[in-house]
Amino acid sequence: MEVFGGQTAAYLNNAITGTDRGPIYQTVRFNLRGYRFAMPNGPCKVTLCFSELAYQETSKRVFGVKLQGQEVVEHLDIFAKVGQFAALDLTFTNVAVTQGELRIDFVPEVEFPCIAAIEVTSRGVTRKINCGGPEFQDFAADLRPEPTPRDLPVADFYEEWATAQFGLEAGPPAAAIFAKLDGNVPQTSAWINGPGAIAINQQPWATVAPRFGFVDEFAALRPLVRGPSHRERFEWWLNTFRVTKLMGEFGCARGELDGLMKRLDAEKDGVTQRRLAREQALPVRLKMVTLLGGLHHVLLATLNNATELGALCNLQQQSVMRLKVLGAHDAALEKYLGEPLPAAAQPWKDFRGDPRLVVMTARTRAQPGEALALRIVALDRQPVKSVTVKLRPLGQGEWHTLIASHQARAVWRAKLPLSRRTLNTSSSHKRPMQRLCVGPLPPHSSTRP
């Protein structure tokens, strides 16, 4: 088999209507030119399986299909025929295979063509491909997508950018990693009525893990990074990469648990059910807690502003609360175990990372006459006892101390006082700005009780 062009998309959290083989319609290859199959000469039967995963209205995706050079589908609008997240199968018989090859080509009209699966049968030979997805039942896994082509070269851009970000030694090798990832970052989350939905993956993590080799490759550059500013930026990117990897591993663990729960549902012997639940399903469920906790840890390590806090909110509100990526099978698993899940199966309630002090403001200066309110997130493994803010007129005077007030959990608030005229050392229209300095908690901070 050969495939020409295309990228893959997965909407693994959405049920597919009109079929009992939903998983093959949850993934698609899109923006492709075609497939080639080695088949015996003679007539064959071709079934093309489609689903519209992205659009919720007509005329957004329209395309045609050719078999052996003959257009057999024109102006196909999947949504117009079956709607979103629904299966559409088109079957063609007596397709003549010559020279041992079946050719399937896609003709773009509006947006990108897409295909969910292909079945080809001829003279006892059958080919089934889950386009854009992993092996499922008797459908083979699709080939990996080709790297996304770029209109312009990116290597020189990334070398200049990475050198400025990470320094002269780490910059060039880091640039090579970023250039390779440009347009080809593994997709580990999906948009399901909003961002932040962890994509559930039926493939084993051992199969998926090599796609995340860039994380360890980037981490290995740490000894080349010199200076605190370069190191701070490097660690932010490393943790951002780790977020993607942990999401991918969690998605595979959830897919594994889905398969185990189906096996338990099909098992009729209660003793066997309990043994499988205890020895196989429960360990996967416990692993998912650790992965989810690690995901929160690295997200908090990237937290610097309200926008990055939104990523945590999406994870909690979308994946954990609405889609129940962690607890969807808990009730059934407890039934098969014959007892409640252990305490270790509950999400972490405590912070387990390095101490952090995050000021949720984009500015470090306040104009005279302005009372600037600061929201501060103080993270530590022990309850934080107090948070102080140091300020003074820019470039002069003594540092003044403000005691922040505790709002809730790890959130504190401090309000800078209005600038006083007594701080003015020049004409009234050139009052000095106040300088704000909020420092991080050291590893053994005195703010601990």
Q: Is residue 146 part of a domain?
A: no
Structure tokens at 47: 């079934």
pLDDT tens readout for residues 263-318:
999 999 999 999 999 999 999 999 999 999 999 999 999 988 888 888 888 888 88
pLDDT tens readout for residues 320-337:
998 899 999 999 999 999
Question: What is the spatial distance between Cα 197 and Cα 11, in angstroms, rounded to a whole number?
Answer: 10
* Same domain flag for 211 and 317: yes
Q: Is residue 153 part of a domain?
A: no
* Same domain flag for 6 and 120: yes
When pLDDT is cut at 50, 70 and 90, the band that residue 418 belongs to is low
Please check whether residue 441 is in contact with residue 355, taking contact to mean a CB–CB distance below 8 angstroms: yes
Residue 424 has a pLDDT of 31
Please check whether residue 131 is in contact with residue 28, taking contact to mean a CB–CB distance below 8 angstroms: yes
In Å, what is the CA distance from 401 to each residue of 237, 295, 414? 33, 35, 11
Angle at 205 between CA 201 and CA 207, to 5 degrees: 100
Q: Is residue 131 part of a domain?
A: yes
Q: Is residue 121 part of a domain?
A: yes
Q: What percentage of residues in the chain have a pLDDT greater than 90?
A: 59
Q: What does the mean pLDDT of the chain come to? A: 86
When pLDDT is cut at 50, 70 and 90, the band that residue 6 belongs to is confident
Residue 146 has a pLDDT of 54
In Å, what is the CA distance from 428 to each residue of 183, 405, 420? 53, 33, 11
Q: Which residue has the tokens 């101490």?
A: 355
* Same domain flag for 200 and 307: yes
Q: Is 90 helix (H, G, I), strand (E, B) or coil?
A: strand
Of 345, 366, 393, the residue that ends a domain is: 345
pLDDT tens readout for residues 124-156:
899 999 998 888 888 988 876 555 556 667 889
Of 113, 141, 169, the residue that ends a domain is: 141
Q: Which helix (H) or strand (E) holds 288?
A: helix 282-301
Neighbours of 16 (CB within 10 A): 20
Domain count, the chain: 3
Angle at 74 between CA 69 and CA 80, to 5 degrees: 145
Residue 337 has a pLDDT of 95
Of residues 208 and 61, the one with the higher pLDDT is: 61
pTM value is 0.68
Q: For residue 264, which of 345, 199, 326, 329 has the smallest C-alpha distance?
A: 329
When pLDDT is cut at 50, 70 and 90, the band that residue 201 belongs to is confident
Of 293, 311, 345, the residue that ends a domain is: 345
Q: What is the average per-residue pLDDT within 415-419?
A: 71
Residue 14 has a pLDDT of 84
Residue 305 has a pLDDT of 83
Q: Is residue 167 part of a domain?
A: no
**CATH code of the domain containing 374:** 2.60.40
Question: What is the spatial distance between Cα 200 and Cα 250, in angstroms, rounded to a whole number?
Answer: 8
Q: For residue 188, which of 235, 242, 112 has the smallest C-alpha distance?
A: 242
Least confidently predicted of 114-118, 195-199, 444-448: 444-448
When pLDDT is cut at 50, 70 and 90, the band that residue 421 belongs to is very low
* Same domain flag for 396 and 331: no
Domain holding 390, by residue range, is: 356-437
pLDDT tens readout for residues 71-89:
999 999 999 999 999 999 9
* Same domain flag for 79 and 191: no
Q: What is the average per-residue pLDDT within 98-115?
A: 93
Q: For residue 321, which of 189, 198, 190 has the smallest C-alpha distance?
A: 198
